[in-house]
A and B are shown apart, each in its own frame.
Chain A
């Protein structure tokens, strides 16, 4: 571990220790928040009891579907739009303003369209993530040096092969940035939807626990979501670092 990461870890430990101390002294009362150590113990119990495994599975499954849909549709759209000038110039300003739209506010419409169930939640996760993939991949595709494409044509590659073997691999680091966003957004989309329109999933369990002053369930679930999201993001970050190092960019 590098010195910087050690300092970073230390900063987190100190922050958690301060919160722990404040809880133990009583500056933060037990109805507001549990001490972090207690949360860790509760989380362990919760996982061992298996009580919320269905909810966790539900949330992660839906998030995974939303994520995969957002990434694959994002790649297809970006590749299709990239070389079509008119289409691209029409759509690009819309992409730029897209994130001004509060997608979650559309949930009544989505329920009308898809009914109550997983579909509206997955749609929200998808809608949040897909544009980030498109925008970032377009940025990468724009940067492919023309000489690489010429080289590919000289060795006999056709348009499809050029996409798979040249432009997409070149854009991988940019795509990965979009993928990281899609990952975070899919969790936000699913859990956010579960808060407002669901009878299952981690979001629902958290809000149910909140309404019943059940801190021993609510905090562990929040921490679990944090841990999952951070570890997935870290895994993608590691891949990104490897790619950039190989190309001499970091």
Chain B
């Protein structure tokens, strides 16, 4: 799970760039088209931990899907490692979704190994990667278990392991801990930090939890209500070696306060519009 630059400081080298990206969902006969996102301009630096917070329904997930190449931007483009992203998810990009993405008919090992078939690996290498991913995510004892036998947190670990096993250079996390309780979330956050340091990958995390963003990220983007645009960028200034105990520091309180100041008005807008449509 390690690459040569693991543990190195996050450089200023651009890793992925969004250029004036927008996304509009075409309407049906009775419903109007929805302008969900953008325009968004954003550059993620190689190896940084970037978090996005925004009011619910602001197009965060749409942003992630466009970034991943799962859906096409209506206008603008995404450049990943110098290449425009077109129609498919580029090699080197991994995604962990908010919903449970375990395949219920596969055991943990087969779930984790889902993507390995596409890689030119020998049987030994394949087994080694599975072993590593199981160990890294603490799933060794559950290798033969089926998802139905695991808790929600464990199933999310399976999805993380499945992403890590592909050794992605860009990892996109769409509220991966949204369904977990607060304490589990803090601890899973620590694990993500550890995996981020070990892998040297760039991480893009979407969350609605301000404290989660403030605790985990190097930089935080704040999104507006729909159509989602970036309205603020905050540098946290945390050292690379960090864990959930940063919540004790005074800067942590200042950071979450700053985020909330940027976000409060947008959250109110989003609340009003969702009430208006009900």
Our verdict on whether A and B bind, yes or no, reads yes
Enumerate chain A interface residues (CB-CB to B < 8 A): 145, 147-148, 150-157, 166, 169-170, 172, 243, 246-249
Q: Which residue of A lies closest to B94 (CB)?
A: A154
Q: Considering the chains assembled together, what is the distance between the CA atoms of A153 and B162 in angstroms?
A: 13
Instruction: Provide the bound-state CA to CA distance between A243 and B147, in Å.
Output: 13
Decide: A169 near B118, CB < 8 A? Known: A247-B146, A248-B149: no
Q: CA of A152 to CA of B159 in the docked complex: distance in angstroms?
A: 12
Contact yes or no, B99 A145, CB < 8 A: yes
Contact check, A157 vs B118: say whether CB atoms are below 8 A apart. Answer: yes
Does residue B234 face the partner (Cβ distance < 8 Å to A)?
A: no
B97→A147 contact, CB < 8 A: yes
Nearest-CB residue, chain A, relative to B97: A147
The winner among A148, A154, A170, A248 for most chain B CB atoms within 10 A is A154
Q: How large is the interface on B (under 10, 10 to 19, 20 to 34, 35 or more residues)?
A: 20 to 34
- State the main secondary structure of chain A at its contact with B: helix
Of residues 25 through 45 on chain B, the ones whose CB sits less than 8 Å from some CB of chain A are none
A205 to chain B, nearest CB (A): 43
Interface check B136, CB cutoff 8 A: no
Q: Which residue of A lies closest to B71 (CB)?
A: A150
A156 touching B99, Cβ below 8 Å: no
Contact count A vs B, C-beta below 8 Å? 64
Question: Which residues of chain A are within 8 angstroms of B115 by Cβ–Cβ distance?
Answer: 154-156
B99 touches A154 (CB 8 A): no
With A156-B118, A246-B148, A248-B146 already in contact, the answer to whether A151 and B105 are too (CB < 8 A) is no
Of B85-93, B202-210, B268-276, the one touching chain A = B85-93
A154 touches B70 (CB 8 A): yes
Q: Given the complex of chains A and B, what is the CA–CA distance between A153 and B91 in angstroms?
A: 11
With A and B bound together, what is the CA distance between A58 and B148 in angstroms? 44
Q: Is the CB of A243 within 8 A of B93?
A: no
A246 touches B118 (CB 8 A): no
B103 contacts A166, C-beta separation under 8 Å: yes
In the complex, whether B100 has a CB less than 8 A from a CB of chain A is yes
**Would you call A154 and B146 a contact (CB within 8 A)?**
no
Which residues of B approach A to under 8 Å, CB–CB? 65, 68, 70, 88-89, 91, 93-95, 97, 99-101, 103-105, 114-115, 118, 146-149, 159, 162-163, 166
- Extra 20 A-B pairs, beta carbons < 8 Å, given A247-B105, A248-B146: A148-B101, A150-B95, A151-B97, A151-B101, A151-B162, A153-B70, A154-B68, A154-B93, A154-B163, A155-B118, A156-B89, A157-B118, A166-B103, A169-B103, A169-B105, A170-B103, A172-B105, A243-B105, A246-B146, A248-B149
> How far does the alpha carbon of A249 sit from the alpha carbon of B104 in the complex, in Å?
10
Residues of chain B with a CB closer than 8 A to A166's CB: 103
Residues of A within 8 A of B94 (CB): 154
B105 with A170: CB separation less than 8 A: yes
Task: Kindly list chain B residues whose C-beta atoms are within 8 Å of the C-beta of A152.
Answer: 114
Most buried by B among A157, A243, A249: A157
Chain A residues in 8 Å Cβ range of B103:
148, 166, 169-170
Bound-state CA distance A172–B104 (Å) is 11
A147 touches B100 (CB 8 A): yes
Q: What is the minimal beta-carbon distance from B172 to any residue of chain A, in angstroms?
A: 9
Chain A residues near B88 (CB-CB < 8 A): 153
Partner of A247, one of B65, B114, B148, B159: B148
- Report the bound CA distance from A169 to B110 in whole Å: 13
* CA–CA, A57 and B9, complex, Å: 74
**Residue in B89, B104, B147 whose CB lies within 8 Å of A154:** B89
Q: Which of A153, A155, A246 has its CB near the most chain B CB atoms (within 10 A)?
A: A155
* Residue on B nearest A245 in the bound complex, by CB: B148
Q: How far is the CA of A156 from the CA of B159 in the complex (A)?
A: 15
CB distance from A47 to the nearest CB of B (A): 39
